[in-house]
Amino acid sequence: MSTLVRVDTRLRRIPLTRPWGPDVTEIHVVAVDVHDSDGGVGHGFSWTPSIGARAVQAMLDDHLAPAALGRPADPAIWPGLWEHVHEAGGGGVTTIALAGIDLALWDLRARRAGVGIPELLGRRHDRQPAYGSGVNLHYPLDDLVAQVRRWVDAGFSAVKIKVGKPDPLEDLDRLQAVRAVLGDRGLMIDANQRWDVDRAATALELFAPVDPLWIEEPLRADDLAAHRELRQRTGVPIALGENVHTLHRFRDFLDAGVVDVVQPNVVRVGGITPFLTIADLARERGVELAPHLLPELSAQLAFALPERTWVEDVEEAGFGDLGVLVAPSGVVVEDGWASGGPALGLGLQFTEGDPS
């Protein structure tokens, strides 16, 4: 088997068409290229919306890349690399950085095989359902309702909006306005860790009339004890996972019986290799899986999973929408469904400069 002979990284700052808040006007990608001893090149990336991009790149350049050189050019090296950087933390910067190499190695493996990632993994679906998702807590009500109407007009059967205003009655007004537009379509809500247990329980009781499909991240994602308490105080399904970084921590939440929808972010958990293991665990426990963000990547994995799997599509936030890909990924979200996929590899190679 060929070995790794070089790992290159490049930091990209990508302006958002629709800012995710007054202080989040751009996201960050560390493009990662791996080179093997047979002359092959694989393209991957690490991603962090607003915090830590330079730290991720430093973890790659100073620690992961040197440790990867000379190892087999294959995703099977993931456990050894994770053990190498584990002293700096089991997850977070370490796993986000490791994802860049893992994705590049999967891209390289698919390129060797002459197929796209869904076919390499074993495609089971031509399409998976997508839901419209917005980072929209800062939107005035009229703008929020207009966004939801766009999603309905685009054929989405479910949408997700942010909650967590200082006054939960304002959240309720916004939710009722959204429900009026949606009719009987699905409505997910996301608090982005803004509440404590009492505020969460009170708000969810107040929101009962709008019948949310799930409440996402109602509490700090690493506070397992608080999730146990909230489970006793609400019947609303609980979704979490975008800020859970390891298989072990996902298992903790599943063992505690406090999560109904598992939402691993492919990059934050360390790449495709650990994502597939987490998906297996969720399936074993009978819990729904709904990958977090990155639809051009998450959809490819969803096509290879046995179950029906939601794909999250944030308005005008895909890499293709933002104009930073060398070529289209091949993943298409249309009429409320994700379909397609790359003809070769991962299909996510980033341009050199800033988009015009």
- The position carrying tokens 């910067």 is 93
Q: Which of 125, 162, 227, 245 is catalytic?
A: 162
Has 292 been annotated as catalytic? Answer: yes
* Sign of the torsion formed by the C-alpha atoms of 151, 153, 154 and 158: positive
Has 165 been annotated as catalytic? Answer: no
CA distance 105 to 318: 22
Give the alpha-carbon dihedral of 198, 199, 202, 207, to 10 degrees. -150
* Sign of the torsion formed by the C-alpha atoms of 103, 106, 112 and 115: negative
* Sign of the torsion formed by the C-alpha atoms of 264, 270, 271 and 273: negative
CA distance 227 to 242: 15
Q: Do 191 and 200 touch, CB atoms closer than 8 A?
A: yes
Q: Give the H/E segment covering residue 128.
A: strand 127-133
Q: What is the set of active-site residues? A: 162, 292
